[in-house]
């Protein structure tokens, strides 16, 4: 699984809360897409 680490500083119009809310909301979808890509990469290798 790929881990994304967001090291961006909060700008004057940015919100860390909104970023966390987005990640919570779409975490399952991101994992599904990542897993499919991983399977495809392995499938092309063999």
Would you state the pLDDT for residue 15? Answer: 77
Average pLDDT over residues 30-41: 73
13 phi/psi in degrees, rounded to 5: -115, 20
Q: How far apart are CA 46 and CA 15, in angstroms?
A: 44
Would you state the pLDDT for residue 45? Answer: 55
Contacts of 24-32 with C-beta under 8 Å, sequence gap 24+, read 31/1
For residue 41, the enclosing domain spans 15-46
44 is a domain residue: yes
42 is a domain residue: yes
Q: Tokens at residue 3, please? A: 């881990």
2 is a domain residue: no
| Length of the chain in terms of residues written | 46
User: Is 1 in contact with 34 (CB distance < 8 Å)?
Assistant: yes
Token pair 């790929």 is at which residue? Answer: 2
28 is a domain residue: yes
Structural domain count, the chain: 1
6 is a domain residue: no
Q: Assign 1 a pLDDT band (cuts: 50, 70, 90).
A: low
36 is a domain residue: yes
Would you state the pLDDT for residue 32? Answer: 76
């Amino acid at each position: 699984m790929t881990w994304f680490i967001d090291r961006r500083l909060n700008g004057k119009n940015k919100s860390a809360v909104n970023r966390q809310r987005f990640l919570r909301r779409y975490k399952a979808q991101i994992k599904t897409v990542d897993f499919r890509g991983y399977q495809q990469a392995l499938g092309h290798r063999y």
